[in-house]
Amino acid sequence: MANRTLGVIGGTGWLGRAIVEALLEQHLLKPDDVLISNRSGTSTFGPDVRLLADNQQLVDLSNVVVLSIRPEQFRTLQINASGKVVISLMAGVTATDIRAASGAAVVVRAMPNAAVEIRQSFTPWYSAGPLDERDRAWVQRLFECVGTASEVPDEDCIDYLSALSGTGPAFPAMLQLALTNQAVAAGIPLAIAQQAARGAVVGGGQMLARHDPQQLIESLMAYRGVTAAALQSMADENIEAVIGRAVAAGAAVARRGM
Ligand SMILES: NC(=O)c1ccc[n+]([C@@H]2O[C@H](COP(=O)([O-])OP(=O)(O)OC[C@H]3O[C@@H](n4cnc5c(N)ncnc54)[C@H](OP(=O)(O)O)[C@@H]3O)[C@@H](O)[C@H]2O)c1
């Protein structure tokens, strides 16, 4: 993969565009070394990033091909990527199916999330096939352009993590909405409820960048006051089991395929 040209099929979508923007901003690749394709023929990139209508032409001109299309769009995609490294961002499509459909030499499955937009995604990735140390480092660096990344030991980790980190803002959004709705039900005016819930989830969440959650909970419990009572109630209701079932439901869909 020396002198890499990266082709991103679906490079104008939510994930594809953010990744291409980030790797150009961070000079991992020059615009000349990036190709993107889509069906509509429209792109927000300048003329330096070549937009192709023909996916096979993109594959032929690239050393590494990223599949940033939706799983249902993959079913009708026809490419021959034999000898190439294909990196799939698709949830619920196995490396075996991608290799069978594309002839790729190596398939890497990666699972970024919507926070690519703010370069705060965590991206687990798994290589179903041999990658040498330089190529592994390059894949890692590619995803570090949009946040943090880690290689995981097996493909099932990708399916499980699709439902955990792959869901991006979904769990915090659900928590914020629940806090808002419950506050309104308790008689707090809507605008205040929204402000308070946002402060708790967005403001409070930012503290977790600097604090260990277990230590934070222990120190808040130690006051034996309002926060401790709220946390104890969640523990009594077995909040971990509720969350565990939610992630398991998502992971089951990823494992079953879409
Ligand atoms: N968004 C997330 O939070 C998230 C999180 C984890 C994983 N993923 C995975 O990432 C993948 C992409 O998601 P996304 O949210 O970025 O989707 P998206 O915004 O809908 O982007 C899909 C892109 O693919 C293009 N496209 C569709 N069919 C094509 C084809 N046959 N040839 C070339 N281009 C084609 C579309 O453009 P045209 O319509 O112009 O063709 C569009 O630019 C999905 O498989 C999803 O499972 C997404």
Q: Which residues of 205-227 are buried (b: 16+ CB within 10 A; e: fewer)?
A: eeeeeeeeeeeeeeeeeeeeeee
Pick from 42, 59, 68 the residue to mutate for probing ligand 1's pocket: most ligand atoms within 8 Å of its CB.
Answer: 68
Confidence of residue 1 (pLDDT cuts 50, 70, 90): low
Q: Where in the chain is the domain with CATH 3.40.50.720?
A: 6-153
Q: What is the reported pLDDT for 47?
A: 87
pLDDT at 2 over 60: no
**Which three-class secondary structure state does DSSP give residue 175?**
helix
> Closest Cα to residue 157, out of 134, 123, 117?
123
Strands (E), the chain: 6-9, 34-37, 50-52, 64-67, 85-88, 106-110, 121-128, 147-151
Q: What is the reported pLDDT for 258?
A: 79
> Closest Cα to residue 247, out of 151, 147, 170?
170
- In angstroms, the CA 184 to CA 250 distance is 29
- Interval 111-123: pLDDT, tens: 999 999 999 999 9
Q: What is the CATH number of domain 170-256?
A: 1.10.3730.10
* Closest ligand 1 atom to 42 CA: 40
Token reading at 233: 């109630």
pLDDT at 3 over 90: no
Whether residue 145 contacts residue 119, with contact meaning beta carbons closer than 8 Å, is answered with yes
65's CB contacts (< 8 A; 6+ apart) are 6, 7, 8, 9, 58, 59, 79, 81, 84, 85, 86, 87, 102, 104
- In angstroms, the CA 257 to CA 253 distance is 6
Q: What is the mean pLDDT of the chain?
A: 96
- Interval 63-81: pLDDT, tens: 999 999 999 999 999 999 9
Pick from 9, 14, 87, 171 the residue to mutate for probing ligand 1's pocket: most ligand atoms within 8 Å of its CB.
Answer: 14
- Interval 21-80: pLDDT, tens: 999 999 999 999 999 999 999 999 988 899 999 999 999 999 999 999 999 999 999 999
Q: What is the CATH number of domain 6-153?
A: 3.40.50.720
CA-nearest residue for atom 27, ligand 1, is: 69
Q: What is the mean pLDDT of residues 138-153?
A: 98
CA-nearest residue for atom 5, ligand 1, is: 113
Q: What is the reported pLDDT for 46?
A: 87
- Interval 188-239: pLDDT, tens: 999 999 999 999 999 999 999 999 999 999 999 999 999 999 999 999 999 9
